Amino acid sequence: MPRFYCPVPLASEALLELPAGAARHVQVLRLQPGDSITLFNGRYGMACDAGTPGHSLGGEFEATITHMGRSDVQVRVGAHSAIERESAATVHLAVGMPANDRMDWLVEKATELGVASIQPLMTERSVLRLSGERADKKIAHWQSVAVASCEQCGGNRVPLVHGVKTLTAWLQSLPVPGADVRCLLSLAAGSSPLHTLAAHGGARHTTFLSGPEGGLGAAEEAAAMARGFAPVSLGPRVLRAETAALTALARLLV
Ligand code: SAM
């Protein structure tokens, strides 16, 4: 059944006009009145609470299309199912943005694996440099890639794609190290194998910091370690930026 992210309050038996993005998608698929669809409205970081406006019940709803206009689509919301397909672990990814369409690919695959949030970073060796309106457009685009990926894979919680930051600004914005686990994906000698972390990581919050194509500089790695990031290794091969990030996510989430 086609699935649509519908970021508005959902309740069984309600008649609902789909938000523009979902309505466009329904039109593109040439669905018709009477067709059944699935709606979900969960985001990572949003509490699930049936009684509080703006909060999400989580899970997903059946819905039936009742009206197709030129651009508007109306549905009747049906039964709620509390199903979640998320990992017990909460894993965030901060990554030196790879250039070209590799970041799109990374956002799509990280979402499939169940990442909770993605922080795109500019580092000293970053090829891709974004600011102002261009950065805002890219973030909106990557957020839509994450939505499409959830619609495809069955995830009912859309990861948040944060605004672009420099590595320095992002590190400064982090709270003092606490109960969360912070890992720096590093090729430096002496980095601990990731499986030692996976064995102890359990269901804690983990953040992976991964470099861009050219890697992080020594001073950048030192700055990350000063903010509580432990260097971890994914083995002796130099993985591409997006492969490294996805490998780390897969080891903890799948
Ligand atoms: N020439 C660059 C260097 O020496 O740093 C290669 C950078 S690599 C293409 C991009 C990023 O992926 C690295 O900064 C690191 O975060 C991560 N990475 C790649 N292979 C890794 C490995 N075997 N173990 C841990 N991290 C790795």
Q: What is the CATH number of the domain that holds 134?
A: 3.40.1280.10
**Among candidate residues 52, 81, 110, the one where a domain is terminated:** 81
Domain end point (choices 81, 104, 135) = 81
Query: Does residue 229 sit in the same domain as residue 174?
Result: yes
Q: What is the count of structural domains for the chain? A: 2
Residue 58 has pLDDT above 90, yes or no: no
Confidence of residue 56 (pLDDT cuts 50, 70, 90): confident
Collapsed DSSP state (helix, strand, coil) of residue 106: helix
From 31, 50, 81, give the residue that closes a domain. Answer: 81
> Do residue 75 and residue 129 come from a single domain?
no
pLDDT at 202: 56
Query: pLDDT-based confidence at 54, cuts 50/70/90?
Result: low
Average pLDDT over residues 147-159: 96
CA of 69 from ligand 1 middle (Å) equals: 51
pLDDT attached to residue 47: 65
Q: For residues 61 and 224, what is the distance between their CA atoms, to the nearest angstrom?
A: 42
Do 165 and 243 fall into the same domain?
yes
User: What backbone phi and psi angles, to 5 degrees, belong to 135?
Assistant: -65, -45
Same domain, 39 and 131: no
Ligand 1 binding pocket mutation candidate from 182, 187, 240, 251 (most atoms within 8 A of CB): 187
Ligand 1, CB cutoff 6 Å, lining residues: 185-187, 210-211, 213-216, 233-235, 237-241, 244
Q: Stretch 98-107: mean pLDDT, rounded?
A: 95
pTM for the structure as a whole = 0.93
Domain membership of residue 67 as a residue range: 3-81
Rounded-to-integer distance, Cα 88 and Cα 2, Å: 26
Assess whether 99 and 173 both reside in one domain.
yes
